[in-house]
Amino acid sequence: MYLVAENMYVNYSYLSRTFKEVTGESYSDYMLRLRMEKAKELLAQGIKVYDAAGQAGYKHVNYFSKSFQKYGGMKPSDVNK
């Protein structure tokens, strides 16, 4: 978001506030939701957990697994079960 604010010549705080007013969620929550939805789609298609993590933008599978479980209430490996 910093780069977006810089390219638009607006203050980062202003852009963050405006984003939340328009969408109803913070930018970080928005990005987390998109990443988790993408990962869930991939896992439902039978993609391996480490591949889904990478495609959702996570470098470390363990961190992805913890985030996925915290966000979705289930382990990534349980999506296809």
pTM (predicted TM-score)? 0.81
Give per-residue pLDDT as tens, 21-75: 999 999 999 999 999 999 999 999 999 999 999 999 999 999 999 999 999 899 9
3-state secondary structure of 60: coil
Full DSSP string of 37-51: HHHHHHHHTT--HHH
Spatial CB neighbours of 60, under 8 Å, sequence gap ≥ 6: 53
Give per-residue pLDDT as tens, 17-28: 999 999 999 999
Span 2-78: which CATH code?
1.10.10.60
* Whether 16 contacts 27, CB under 8 Å: yes
* Whether 35 contacts 56, CB under 8 Å: yes
